Amino acid sequence: MSESPIPPQIRSSTFRVHSLPKPQGDGRPNILLLMTDQQRFDTLNAGGYKFMRTPNLDRLVHDGRLYRNAYSPNPICLAARHNMLTGLPARFHGFPDNMQGVNTRADLPMLPRILSDNGYETHAIGKMHFVPPRRHNGLERLQLMEELPWYREDDDYALYLKSVGLGHIQHIHGVRHLLYMLPQRSLIPEDHHGSKWVADRGIEYLSANQGRKPFFLWLSWIAPHPPFDVPDRFAELYQGADLPQPHRSETPTSLLAVESELLGDLPNEQYVQRMREVYYGAVSHVDEQVGRVLDTLDELGLAGNTLVIFLSDHGELLGDYDLYQKWLPYDSCSRIPMILRYPDHIEPGSRCDDFVDLNDVLPTVLDVAGIDYPGNETLAGESLLAESGVKERGWQYMEYSFDNRRWISIRNRRFKYNYYYGGGIEELFDLIADPYETKNLLWGDVPSELESIRTELRAKLAEYETKWGLAGYVSDKGELLAGPPYEPHPQRNEAFPRFPSQIMNQTEKAQMNDLFDEVRAAIAREPVVQLHQLDIAAWQAKGGFSDEAIIKLIHSDRK
């Protein structure tokens, strides 16, 4: 047999692979999108809210630009995220609310897909709120951490918990039903908490990429969205602190707002104070994780060539006007924090008072990446780095939902005008004299001097609704139409854990924690919460619990 053709220098019992030259990125900037869920605009120390402890977000503000009038163009999760990813409102993407969608379009260019088609690595970690949940929308890699996964196998974080011996826990993101808006403690140890998991996975990705290829990395936290299930260290961070008190309205809020009242089951002011403390603790917990990610960018030498965007999808009422959650036009839930850092392109420590919103994210990223928008639609947003933009930055338009649940809103530097299609209800706020929106100037007798303002804003709103809103809500004469009065349907949050009931291995299913035991554990270190003071009857009816079980639960609470 002839001698082997393998050269003698690599003929060995152990085959040695010589390392290849490290591929280098093409010089295009990286994009790091840091996103929280339900974070109010007034939660940044560097934004002037000195009670907040946000050293890492403050660092971003110091090194970048803070947008002090940033808004969610549709303040609810699914709709807001689709605005951000398409640069277009619900009229185009088909999600005006948290639902399956109305006339959704699969052909609409999505930001991750555009970037992927142009040579970017696209990777997302955390909450996406896609329909269906694992739809990639152009993301090459997707590591999900959703609020209520139907199946554990669909959720990377739920699978991770199982892998580290925590698969027996049902409420992996806190107790979402009975204790939805109430202060509670995480049932997950801090080292495995979801907020840390997002940062850990992000750091792993950055360490693996290290600039080999331009990337779009989207880190999306569930926090500070309720349940407020933060680790002890952060649950106690603001305990007893002198915090801003909830705003109180001098005039009635809308009928749609009535639906928000029952989402909070907070019997007295002590509950409300403690709820706000734990909410701010959740913000600070995410801030710490943001800092870890930023440190990694620095350590890897990537910070100088990375556009960092920090924002939230919408805010949280947090007891303002005795309301909770979002989906209303008030600043508490429609105005958001937004920061951009892009070394050598954005002046460090700068502030911008123009109106900006989530529609501006896609064109900003494409501008930085040097990519033309491939779609046929005219984008609603515009690059925040445009030298001579054409978007009207003196006006901000918002919308929500459809039929007689729908409202639209317009604001300028001084006034905000809200229009509810259900009954044609109007609100007008003077944001200079009344920055907390406590007095609807159109309630009761309207002074004659306000009529011209109302007329101007209503006409401007009709103009925006015609161009960007859902079709069929403005008459041929340019008048806003009105539907039948809205009938509110207030109710408690009824979201019990989903994935435990879908576990098919009966041995594994039998090892899951008892639901009542987890409720007790969540409030064991929150003495303000007394179960017998809550709306147990509604919870019992929804869960189908026996009187015996409820009596036992209440008895344990009073020990």
pLDDT tens digits along 460-484: 999 999 999 999 999 999 999 999 9
Q: What are phi and psi of 450, to 5 degrees?
A: -90, -15
Question: 397 in helix, strand or coil?
Answer: strand
Instruction: Give tens-digit pLDDT for 243-289.
Output: 999 999 999 998 899 888 888 899 999 999 999 999 999 999 999 99
Query: What value does the mean pLDDT of the chain take?
Result: 92
pLDDT at 101 (0 to 100): 63
Q: Which range among 90-99, 142-151, 360-369 shows the weakest confidence by mean pLDDT? A: 90-99
Q: Of 262, 259, 256, 312, which is closest to residue 283 (Cα–Cα)?
A: 312
pLDDT at 453 exceeding the cut of 90: yes
Q: How many CA atoms lie within 13 A of 206 on its CB side?
A: 26
CA dist 537 to 179, 520, 547, Å?
A: 14, 17, 10
Per-residue pLDDT band at 138 (split at 50, 70, 90): confident
Per-residue pLDDT band at 557 (split at 50, 70, 90): low
Instruction: Give tens-digit pLDDT for 498-550.
Output: 999 999 999 999 999 999 999 999 999 999 999 999 999 989 999 999 999 99
Give 10: exposed, middle or buried? Use CB within 10 Å, 0-12, 13-18, 19+. exposed
Domain 30-385 has CATH 3.40.720.10: yes
CA distance 169 to 187: 8
Residue reference for tokens 């403390």: 277
pLDDT at 16 exceeding the cut of 80: no
Peptide bond into 133 cis (omega under 30): no
Mean pLDDT within 124-137: 87
Q: State whether the Cα torsion 269-275-276-278 is positive or negative.
A: positive
pLDDT at 450 exceeding the cut of 70: yes
Q: Of 70, 113, 110, 76, which is closest to residue 95 (Cα–Cα)?
A: 76
| Strand residue runs (E) in 146-270 | 183-185, 215-224, 228-230
pLDDT at 280 (0 to 100): 98
Q: DSSP string spanning 219-235?
A: EEEEEESSSEEE-HHHH
pLDDT at 191 (0 to 100): 97
**468: amino acid identity, one letter:** W
CA distance 331 to 339: 18
pLDDT at 42 (0 to 100): 97
Count of all residues that appear for the chain in the document: 559
Q: What 3 state SS string does 338-382 have?
A: EEEECCCCCCCCEEEEEEEEHHHHHHHHHHHHCCCCCCCCCCCCC
Would you tell me the crossing angle of helices 536-543 and 547-557 to the nearest 10 degrees? 140
pLDDT at 131 (0 to 100): 78
CA distance 387 to 176: 46
CA distance 278 to 224: 9
Token pair in block for residue 517: 């035991």
Instruction: Give tens-digit pLDDT for 357-383.
Output: 999 999 999 999 999 999 999 999 999
CA distance 115 to 360: 16
Domain segments of the chain as ranges: 30-385, 514-557
